Structure 1
């Protein structure tokens, strides 16, 4: 399940280091090629809203395998697009299919919590999330290596084939798992709004997730401008390798899961929020030293995963029979925070350079602190 989550999540990041090669292959501008990134993000968000809730309606093993199979077909269609009429159009279609159906990962995460014993649910979620995070971080590097070996399409061929193989394995090893709620699709979608309005801690934890990911997205949207600019003058390849430092977040995901199982979700969340705020100090100093920047990046990634895993541990316990719908609500807010952080980060860089970006990231962190205090009030007043 962890490998499947890594493949599904990473599939949406394959195109990011390949955009220039794709542009050259199709004879289009880099700007036109960058539309692929937007297509992947928008289709993934739509999948979160309209496909992930099916985990509370359909048999989950079959749902996961089907979603992964269609996502793999999207990858293979992308790989074959240079040989098809209307080449780039087929690549866009393949990207949309992959983004929409790769949300299988967000069905697997709550399913891991459901299948594990209550005493080990946090550890199970942390382990599966560790696979998801590792897939995101390694996707860009693996795509670049495969592109160097056999062209940009090779990364799509390989990833699509591996995803089909893993889907086949899951079909054989996952137990059958089905919700007993007996809801129609319209009722499933309508109940998501009801969950948001009737579960205060779902709202507070969604705010925590959105603000924390927003703060980190400020960093991700501007770090290449700092590292590749006059201050450091690093190449794209070197910047990509620095991004791999975030793989430590996968370790935090597993640790946070264990702490949740021991009843320390509140304290771990508080530590993550505090660490996220503090990380912006070495990140700001990072304009003087790459090594200090890397230290700040390690800290903020650890903080993000601590908050995120704790959030999932808390929200899954709110309504165990509706975990897929709760996860869909939470993850939608999580990615809204990410896109907002990216936009704010770009604007802050434009008007204030790296200092402006750091202040923007710190602002998201302070909003995160306010959300934490609100959540702790809700936790104390809960029956």
Structure 2
């Protein structure tokens, strides 16, 4: 049975419809791919101890993955406007499996960082699946389908930290990435059977396609502003979730990886922010919603100032940070997707590249700041990042 005949039986015939089976596959694959970027966040101390990486540079493991993701967003995702989508996605997922296996077996630090970079680059297959789902879904159900797929992606992001922390107690950090390789391989095999072909109609050369990304950032003020707002927010997010597990493994908490897993479950509540933010945006509350989302993250880091001695403060901060960041992401996506329906892949690539670079900066800062200035230093920078975004937002001429 080929992919097109199976798609027909599941209700996903060409670009006109998308069945339940395919929708679930899209959501699971997006979640599993996005999770690859976050497994390492609570494990940096374990990886550092195992590989001899110094405490001040441990967070570079997360940074490299996020830089890789930004590279993939720029160089791979726009290919969805030129290359047959099914082939592009499956080849990228296969490369992701190989890089995850290489990461799990990496004997040297150089190999570890190289494989982590490739894991980040190839995990952008998730951002190829989202627009493909939108193209396959009927217009009347497109919002619902994309929302379901994005819920899977956000679920993967939010569950990655507790899952990796829990599994590390039993299989070690290498086992976490080995299991991820197996999961992506299984989803890739399912995609080989289920994913229908989609041939794009873009006629631009690859060089012109990539070159247009920078022009979009310059010429689209809403895209530029929204990217910068969320870069600051995602930087604060990465800063917190890379540093918090480290302090939980130390005095006075002395958590095990499983204990850290329970703590990181607090962030899973952030998934509930997406549908609420979407409804608020649909009702015209984007401006006030953006202000509330950014202010929530500022308040979270104020609460986190007490996290060195109060577990309740840390848990509250984790919940609020994820709620604020996920809500702001949805507000931003809604704004940029209204700019030009014909270039949504590239708008999405520019938006996500911008804020993932912000996330890379946040994770890169976490270890050196934690070692030099302690948890208070983390919180001060965590307050400053969204505060700068809020000032920029209030000074801009954005009315939405």
Task: Please point out which of 29, 35, 39 is paired with 2:52.
Answer: 29
TM-score, length-scaled by structure 2: 0.80
| Counterpart residue number, 1:72 | 97
Match status 1:330 vs 2:351: yes
With over 3 angstroms needed to count, the CA separation of the structure-2 counterparts of 1:127 and 1:36, relative to structure 1, is same
- Contact 2:45/2:246 (<8 A) preserved: no
Matched, 1:296 2:317: yes
CA 259–190 in structure 1, closer or farther in 2 if over 3 Å, else same: same
What residue number does 2:229 align with? Answer: 208
Q: 1:198 to 1:166 in 2, by over 3 A?
A: same
1:45 and 2:70 correspond? yes
2:269 is the alignment partner of 1:244: no
Aligned counterparts of 1:356 and 1:171: Cα–Cα separation in 2: 48
**Aligned residue number for residue 15 of structure 2:** none
- Matched with 2:160 is 139
| Contact 2:234–2:359 (8 Å) recurs in 1 | yes
Can you list the C-alpha shifts for 1:6-50, whole angstroms capped at 9, x where unaligned? 11122234455566776787xx42449957545433332221221
Evaluate the alpha carbon distance shift between residue 170 and residue 314 of structure 1 in structure 2; reply closer, same or farther with a 3 A threshold. Answer: farther
Partner of 2:398: 378
d(CA) in 1 for partners of 2:198, 2:288: 32
Q: Residue 201 of structure 1 contacts residue 315 of structure 1 at CA under 8 Å; is this kept in 2?
A: yes
Bigger drift between 341-350 and 330-339 goes to 341-350
Give me the whole-angstrom Cα distance separating, in 2, the residues matched to 1:117 and 1:314: 22
Residue 2 of structure 1 corresponds to 27
Give the counterpart of 2:275 among 239, 254, 259.
254
Of 269, 276, 297, the match for 1:276 = 297
Query: Are positions 1:286 and 2:311 aligned together?
Result: no
For residues 366 and 45 of structure 2, the distance between their equivalents in structure 1, rounded to whole angstroms, comes to 23
Between 97-106 and 349-358, report the one with greater CA deviation: 349-358
Cα separation, partners in 2 of 1:76 and 1:119, compared to 1, 3 Å: same
Distance 2:233 2:114 in 1: 32
Inter-CA distance 44–379: structure 2 relative to 1 (3 Å threshold): same
Q: Determine the C-alpha separation between the residues in 2 that align with 1:108 and 1:286.
A: 38
Q: Is the 8 A contact 2:67 2:360 kept in 1?
A: no
How well do the aligned residues superpose, as a CA RMSD in angstroms? 3.3
More displaced stretch, 4-13 vs 338-347: 338-347
Distance 2:384 2:222 in 1: 22
Q: Residue 55 of structure 1 contacts residue 325 of structure 1 at CA under 8 Å; is this kept in 2?
A: no
Gaps of 5+ in 2: 1-25
Distance 2:255 2:338 in 1: 45
Report the CA distance shift for 1:313/1:73 in structure 2 as closer, same or farther (over 3 A).
Answer: same
Q: 1:222 & 1:92 partners in 2: Cα distance?
A: 19
